[in-house]
Amino acid sequence: MRHLIFTTLFLSIYFFGNAQITLTAEVHNPNVGDTYEQNINSDPGAGFTEGPSGADVTWDFSNLTTSTTRGVSIQAASNPDFPNADIFYSQVGTYSYFGTANNAFVYWGINTDQAVIAYTDGEDQVRFPITYGDSYSDTFEGSYESFGMTFDREGTLDVAADGYGTLITPDATYDNALRIQIVRNTTDYQNGSPTGSTVDTIYYWYAENINFPVMTYNRNYSEGSLVGESVNYLSDDGTLSVSGIEAKTLEVYPNPVQNRLNLNYDKQKIRHIQILDLQGKLVKEFAAKVETIITEDLPTGTYFIKTTYSNGVAQKAKFIKQ
What confidence score (pLDDT) does residue 289 get? 75
Distance CA 226, CA 94 (A): 23
Distance CA 25, CA 23 (A): 7
Strands 225-234 and 251-253: unpaired
DSSP class of 134: -
Q: DSSP readout, 65-88?
A: --SEEEEEEEEE---TT-TT-SEE
**Local confidence pLDDT in tens for the 322 residues of the chain:** 333 333 333 333 333 444 689 999 988 999 888 878 889 999 998 889 999 999 999 999 999 998 888 888 888 999 999 999 999 998 777 899 999 999 999 999 999 878 899 999 999 999 999 999 999 999 999 999 888 899 999 999 999 999 999 999 988 888 889 999 999 999 999 999 999 999 999 999 999 878 889 999 999 999 889 999 999 998 864 223 333 344 356 788 898 999 999 888 777 667 778 888 876 678 888 866 788 899 999 999 888 888 876 655 667 778 889 9
**Element (DSSP H or E) covering residue 14:** helix 2-17
Peptide bond into 129 cis (omega under 30): yes
Distance CA 242, CA 224 (A): 39
Q: Are 307 and 315 in contact (CB under 8 A)?
A: yes
Distance CA 131, CA 195 (A): 37
For 209, phi and psi rounded to 5 degrees? 65, 15
Distance CA 138, CA 125 (A): 9
What confidence score (pLDDT) does residue 115 get? 86
What confidence score (pLDDT) does residue 311 get? 56
